[in-house]
Amino acid sequence: MAMAMLLKAFLETEGINYDLVHHGYSSHAMHAAEVAHVSGEKVAKGVLLHDEHGYTLAVLPATHKIDMDELSKQYHRAFSLAGESELAGLFNDCEVGAVPAVGKAYDVEVIMDDSLNDSPDIYFEAGDHADLVHVGSADFRHLMGDAPHGIFSRHI
């Protein structure tokens, strides 16, 4: 499988300059960083959460883990992790576990961890387990739009 079609169409509609980095099969974002020879600090992973308001995609570096207590406290919401069946329903043109960090392409609310702000370029899953999308930091900020942000993760 190549880049997810909805993601590709969204990037093109938004006028985002990107390139694809092909790599060997990877099972998760940090592994993708390793096999693509990219710093995990530069790989933005999307973690699907849900609460009484619906779904939210938390975007954070592959090297980090969400602090659910801190996240819930900051946003005054009781988030929990979404299941694989929910992922498949929302990101239906993506392979399970290869969620792009661009919720806007899938009409999913996004919150972003500020630890991604310092990187000059960002990589994220292309919707499969063998490609990363590479964009500059300005384009990534554009993709995040006016998403709420804060520090809600910690380095693993």
pLDDT digits (tens, 9 = 90+) for 145-154: 999 999 999 9
pLDDT digits (tens, 9 = 90+) for 75-131: 999 999 999 889 889 999 999 889 999 999 999 999 999 999 989 999 999 999 999
pTM of the model: 0.96
Domains of the chain: 5-155 (3.90.960.10)
Is the alpha carbon torsion for 85, 94, 56, 108 positive or negative? negative
Task: Give the number of other Cβ atoms within 10 Å of residue 20's Cβ.
Answer: 15
pLDDT at 97: 87
What number is the average pLDDT over the span 43-69? 97
**What are 131's strand-pairing partners?**
22
H helices of the chain, in order, are: 5-13, 29-36, 68-75, 84-90, 137-144
pLDDT digits (tens, 9 = 90+) for 48-58: 999 999 999 99
Q: How many residues does the chain have?
A: 156
pLDDT digits (tens, 9 = 90+) for 129-142: 999 999 999 999 99
